Amino acid sequence: MGKTSREAAAEPQPSAPLGLRHRRTPTPSAYALGYRSHAASRLGLTPSACALGYFLAPLRGYNCSTMRIRKFFVISLLFLSGPAVLLLFSQLNGNLAPLRQVRDRFPVFADVAVDPESNIVAVTDENLFSLRTYDRDLATNDVADPRTVVTGNRTRVDFVCGVALDPVHKEIYTVNNDTAADMLVFKYDASGNVPASRTLRPAPVSTWGVAVDLKNDEVGVTVQQVNKVMIYRRLAEGEEKPLRVIQGPDTALADPHGIFIDAENNEIFVANHDSYHLAETSQEESTDVQGQLARGIATISVPQERFQPRASSGKFVEPSITVFSRTAQNNASPVRVVRGPKTELSLPMKVFVDTVHNEIFVANSGSNSILVFSRTASGDVAPIRKIEGAATKLKKPVGLFVDVKNDEVWATSPEEHSAVVFRRTAQGNAAPLRIVRGAPDGTPAPGIGNPGGIAYDPMREQILVPN
Amino acid sequence: MANPRIAIFARLANGNVAPTRVIEGPHTRLSRTSHAIVFDEKNDEIVVPNPLAEAILVYRGNASGDAAPIRTIQGPRTLLQENDELALDNVHDEIIVPTRQAILVFSRTANGNVAPLRIIAGPKTKMFRARGIAVDPVNNIIAMGNANPQGILIFNRTDQGDVAPRSIITGPRTGIYATKGFAVLPDRKELIATVEARGVQVSRNVGESFVGIWNYTDNGDVAPKAMIKGETSMLIAPRGAALDLKHQEIFVIDKVQNSFFTYSWQKILQTMQR
């Protein structure tokens, strides 16, 4: 169950996971560290040991006078002294090869979006930093064969999270999350290491969700770190200012993730986690420094005003779905909030509104499920149905999309390297109709995403990595 | 991965492997932005920040699954803001937390809405936006990466108020654009820092960033005395670093590679320049 030929052609090989990560030709010193000559390795000698042996053997009384051995050492010296010197040189400069590395060699699907008219599904891959499209109706249990793979440093696709499709203009929208938080727009047929058609910089860091509103020609994004929703012109680029911003203590936004703009009913839906703090303007200035460092700005500019420690506003809140008027701005209160123990909301990621059947779908990562509510649900209400259980293959779902035309609902399971498809009306422990796999079934996932810290537990001899 | 969690791997883990244990779930109170972590060997505890909730979370060392923290530092009196980093001093039982322009020192056993024991803050400190922090409880220093000026600020462990750092490692010879992870070697009086080269998050060039080692006494524009650097290292954007001196290994996590690497500490010692 390997990759298909198209997949293999489109993707870098596992030994060079991105292609872009090893764009440079390895140096001779790299080869010197990694390889020994066949002859030397048969004797268990490193190149430097061979060279030293030639010079030192007579001094130590060894008989190196036979032509055969002499010839071997001469050849060894000629062919291996260069790498040996480079080996020593590289050691002196710390160009050390890792003894071990823990890394996922496969794409990890975060968000998903579908265009049923064009028969494509788009997924973001936050592990290998790629944006992929597949045939919507692909039915195989093997690793799926992508139509396109957008990846590489020219694309600026980074730690991507949200994805949305514009079926009219045939464009894919995606946002980088915790690095250079750009919103990138690509044409459907873009593939390879190609620049985006448009790039917008909504925030220095931590954009997560993206939604396109074709009726009003707008696009919306969420910004995790400062609890904000920003609405732009659909064609906004560069440093363009948003049309509207929703942010403030009355908004109930808390570590916002997924966003959906319901243009039919003039509402915006946002999925919120449980971490809250009151974001101040000064914090946005401070996070801008993070953004400058991520982009590699030569001279970092910082706010001149010194920031004195002040009372913390952090607290834990219940996860929620907040619903705003589509034209809400500033410190607007939501018109409805779905929140409370009956809702079973737990680390809700993507939220999607089916305006035909008047239902809200939520990728509920914390309970390995998809929750469905009435579109007008408010308060502490139970879901009207759930997709959950071992047969669903849902594991910490993040992305979600409802394809009304084909009566299907999609969700991603990052730890399974997969996107799964159910009937829109599925409930309970339902098996998926199809699975789009980014890795062979059963491939383990290290699950390391945009890591910053690492610790070692010497008692258990274990390594700890937070996301 | 977008899911908030702490993944725990066997020391010898290698390749495309799953963690042996994971702390994750709604009761953990983790957010997906815990960019620092400390393991407290003495008390068998794990300490991580949650900057989105302005909290410090403490778990049992063997925590697994949807485990709730055993202690949480959070509330108005804590003054926690933008608390991406932390360090632990298990000799003096303190948790050291940098915020935007301050270092807050809490009791290790603090729980709830508690005020810091000490605060280092003010214009003399030159602090702006911590980029990693470590404490050496034996030699009594705190080393902190700084975004502006870009470099490493070294304070006395017991400093308080508006104090100047006792030394600043900064300048072109240091090679520092942005630091992130720190580890200290009290016996050798050395500081290990991960250093991200300028623009690598965009270029994704392998081998420009490095892990550098400096002496505690270094001050000014001083090159590191040893490095892990080069294309063979596979590093693009190194972040945290941790040492296992028993097995003579160093672990380095890389933000762009979404992976962690294990290097021979002995080989690094062989490259010491001074």
Q: Are A98 and B129 inside 8 Å of each other by CB?
A: no
> Which bin fits A346, alpha (ψ -120 to 50), beta or left (φ > 0)?
beta
- Contact status of B229 with chain A (Cβ, < 8 Å): yes
d(CA A4, CA A140): 11
- Contact status of B14 with chain A (Cβ, < 8 Å): yes
Q: What is the pLDDT of residues B119-170, one digit of tens each?
A: 999 999 999 888 999 999 999 999 999 998 899 999 999 999 999 999 999 9
CA–CA min distance B157, chain A (Å): 19
> Which bin fits B44, alpha (ψ -120 to 50), beta or left (φ > 0)?
left
- Contact status of B112 with chain A (Cβ, < 8 Å): no
CA–CA min distance B219, chain A (Å): 22
* Token reading at B179: 């630091």
Could you give the angle at the alpha carbon of B77 between the alpha carbons of B72 and B78, nearest 5°? 45
Q: Are A96 and B230 inside 8 Å of each other by CB?
A: yes
Question: Which residues of chain A have a CB within 8 Å of the CB of B227?
Answer: 93-94
- Contact status of A314 with chain B (Cβ, < 8 Å): yes
DSSP string, B172-198: GGGT-SEEEEEEEETTTTEEEEEEEPT
Question: Which residues of chain A have a CB within 8 Å of the CB of B13?
Answer: 100, 102, 463
Across the range A308-318, mean pLDDT stands at: 94
d(CA A123, CA A257): 16
DSSP classification of residue A397: -
d(CA A108, CA A413): 8
- Contact status of A296 with chain B (Cβ, < 8 Å): yes
Across the range A413-434, mean pLDDT stands at: 97
Question: Which residues of chain B have a CB within 8 Å of the CB of A23?
Answer: 204-205
Across the range B89-102, mean pLDDT stands at: 95
CB atoms inside a 10 Å sphere around CB A127: 30
Q: Give the three-state DSSP class for B96.
A: strand
**Residue A385 reports pLDDT greater than 90:** yes
Note the pLDDT of residue A75. Answer: 55
d(CA A445, CA B1): 10
Half-sphere exposure in the Cβ direction for B37 (13 Å, CA) = 34
CB atoms inside a 10 Å sphere around CB B239: 25
Which candidate, A445, A366, A287, places its Cα nearest to that of B29?
Answer: A366
CA–CA min distance B49, chain A (Å): 10
Q: Give the three-state DSSP class for A148.
A: strand
Q: Are B19 and A446 inside 8 Å of each other by CB?
A: yes
- Contact status of A172 with chain B (Cβ, < 8 Å): no
DSSP string, A285-337: HHHHHHHHHHHT-SS----SSPPPP-----EE---EEEEEETT--BSPPPSEE
DSSP classification of residue A79: H
| pLDDT above 90: percentage of residues in chain A | 70
pTM here is 0.87
Q: Which of residues 225-244 of A touch B (CB under 8 A)?
A: 225
For chain B, what is the radius of gyration of the CA atoms?
A: 18
Count of A-B CB contacts under 8 Å: 402
- Contact status of A414 with chain B (Cβ, < 8 Å): yes
CB atoms inside a 10 Å sphere around CB A295: 17
- The identity of residue A114, as a single letter, is V
Q: What is the ipTM of this complex?
A: 0.98
All structural domains of chain A, each given as residue ranges with its CATH number in brackets, are: 28-92 (no CATH), 109-437 (2.130.10.10)
Strand order of the β-sheet with B102-107 is: B87-89, B94-98, B102-107, B118-121
Q: Spell out the residues 6+ positions from residue B69 whose beta carbon is closer than 8 angstroms to its own.
A: B28, B29, B57, B58, B59
* Element housing A68 (H / E): helix A67-92
| pLDDT above 70: percentage of residues in chain A | 80
* Token reading at B86: 């932390």
- Pick among B259, B262, B266, B272 to test the A interface (most A CBs inside 10 A): B259
Closest residue in B to A32 (Cα–Cα): B232
Q: What is the pLDDT of residues A390-404, one digit of tens each?
A: 999 999 999 999 999
- A35 vs B131: which has the higher pLDDT: B131
CA–CA min distance B180, chain A (Å): 8
- Contact status of B101 with chain A (Cβ, < 8 Å): yes
Question: Which residues of chain B have a CB within 8 Å of the CB of A158?
Answer: 201
Q: Spell out the residues 6+ positions from residue A133 whose beta carbon is closer than 8 angstroms to its own.
A: A120, A121, A122, A123, A146, A147, A148, A172, A188
Q: Which of residues 21-60 of A touch B (CB under 8 A)?
A: 21-24, 26-27, 29-30, 33-34
Across the range A192-220, mean pLDDT stands at: 95
CA–CA min distance B63, chain A (Å): 12
C-alpha distances (whole Å) from A438 to each of A11, A391, A420, B16, B30 are: 11, 19, 11, 14, 27
- Contact status of B76 with chain A (Cβ, < 8 Å): yes
pLDDT band at A56; cut points 50, 70, 90: very low
- B23 vs A205: which has the higher pLDDT: B23
Q: Which of residues 204-223 of A touch B (CB under 8 A)?
A: 206, 208
